[in-house]
Amino acid sequence: MRSATSKITTPTTTTTTTTAAMNTSPKRCKYQYCATAAADDSHKLTDSNNESTLLPGLPNHLAQLCLCSLHPSLLHRVCRSWRRFIYSPSFPPFFSLYTLLSSKSPLPEPKNQDQDQNQLNPFQFFSLDPISSTWRRLPFPPSDPLLHLLHRHPSFISRTIPIQSLTVSGRLVLIAATGHQFLPALSHPLAFDPISSQWFFGPPLPTPRRWCAVGSAGGSVYVASGIGSHYDSDVARSVEKWDMKKKKIEWNWEKMASLKDGRFSREAVEAVEYRGKLCMVNVKGHAVKQGAVYDMEKNRWENMPEGMIGGWNGPAAMGGEDRLYVVDEANGVLSKYDSENDSWEEVVDSPEILRGAQHITAGGGRVCVVCGGGERIAVVDVVATPPRIWVVNPPEGREVVAVHILPRMNLPEW
């Protein structure tokens, strides 16, 4: 298998290994997590085989409490039973990279009608385990209906067709895309839960759309503007909210305060949560653009500060602790927003790596950027002083469409 990590040297940094790609785990007390999980799941690691004994002389539920305090990379190096443990529900989930990948070359025609159509889909979902530096394919999405997405088309030689996805409450959500005949590809959001390793559908969209603004905050998904099967001014101004915290039988799309016009249906853009508000611009890059800020508590739209919109020249993401990042796609500069001065502070200037940024995600002290036409993922350690940067390569024969940071999948049978 192709190595997931490439070592590079930049003017600002020297890289480290893929293991450093993520901080260990989401914010949750490890002992609390292990105490709860051990009571529920310790039997899964217990049998008469010595291989399943975590620490000789200790019951597994007590051994789990001891091992939970160690970094998973240390446990991975020791023995098979400890490697199994860090991928079990009993161990606090550490962060991993999740990607939507596209095949670089046309796939072969099906040999027969019974052949699994998922196997022939040019789009696949993969997760990169930062502990073992291994790409793992996610379970295939439901085949009914079969997922048909467009990312490239002869009519659009110089650009790709957007596929919009996001993360909310530790889950990956595919929300909007273009299908055959240039119609919206998704009538329902398609979501993946890493902990259960299962796909599920969200509530039907009142108007399936593409070229919209999508974002998440407070356990809810927001979809604003966009184009349905044809342009409609009401759809272009509409804002819908799906509260995933509700019980599944109560899931629906709630209408929120509308945009003042339909200018946000020009491009597929991200709506980034920052200090309790959703921030977005209507055009990517250095083009003249409009910005808008949605106050979720007051359900109203506000103007974006001039300094914020002036430096929003590429894909953006929220990195936790009120840190809003943007990559200048033309100049290859990663910057962080300073709200006190309404300005952008440079974090990393690396044009040879970050120029042409297409998608960005942040979490666990890392900012991950899809660049090079999907040929690579640049990982920036924004906690280190000075920040470090290195490159992660996708699996052979595939290019990256989108990247996200989520808890690792449970692999109890690993």
Q: Is the pLDDT of residue 32 over 90?
A: no
Taking Cα atoms as reference points, which of 377, 384, 379, 381 lies closest to residue 400? 377
pLDDT band at residue 11 under the 50/70/90 scheme: very low
Are residues 121 and 163 in contact, defined by beta-carbon separation less than 8 angstroms?
no
pLDDT tens per residue, range 128-149: 999 999 999 999 998 777 788 8
pLDDT tens per residue, range 193-220: 999 999 999 999 999 999 999 999 999 9
Residue 261: how many other CB atoms lie within 10 Å: 14
pLDDT tens per residue, range 157-172: 567 889 999 999 999 9
Taking Cα atoms as reference points, which of 244, 123, 275, 241 lies closest to residue 172? 244
> What's the alpha-carbon Rg for the chain, to the nearest Å?
22
pLDDT score at 148: 82
Q: Find the mean pLDDT for residues 14-43.
A: 49
Angle between helices 30-41 and 60-67 (to 10 degrees): 160
Q: Is the pLDDT of residue 103 over 50?
A: yes
Instruction: Tell me the two tokens of residue 313.
Output: 């020249």
Q: Find the mean pLDDT for residues 393-410.
A: 94
Residue whose entry in the numeric block shows the structure tokens 């036409």? 373
The overall average pLDDT reported for the chain is 85
pLDDT band at residue 2 under the 50/70/90 scheme: very low
pLDDT tens per residue, range 39-98: 455 444 444 344 578 999 999 889 999 999 999 999 999 999 999 999 998 899 999 999
How many distinct helices (H) and strands (E) make up the chain?
7, 25
Q: Is the pLDDT of residue 31 over 90?
A: no
Q: Is the pLDDT of residue 182 over 90?
A: no
**Residue, of 179 and 243, whose pLDDT is higher:** 243
Are residues 341 and 354 in contact, defined by beta-carbon separation less than 8 angstroms?
no
Q: Is the pLDDT of residue 235 over 70?
A: yes
Q: Provide the percentage of residues in the chain whose pLDDT is more than 70.
A: 82
Q: Which long-range contacts (CB under 8 A, 24 or more apart) does 66-70 make?
A: 67/91, 68/30, 68/31, 68/33, 68/34, 68/92, 69/30, 69/31
Instruction: Tell me the two tokens of residue 48.
Output: 């008469």
Pick from 103-107, 139-143, 220-224: least confident: 103-107
pLDDT score at 109: 53
pLDDT tens per residue, range 311-362: 999 999 998 778 999 999 999 999 999 999 999 999 999 999 999 999 999 9
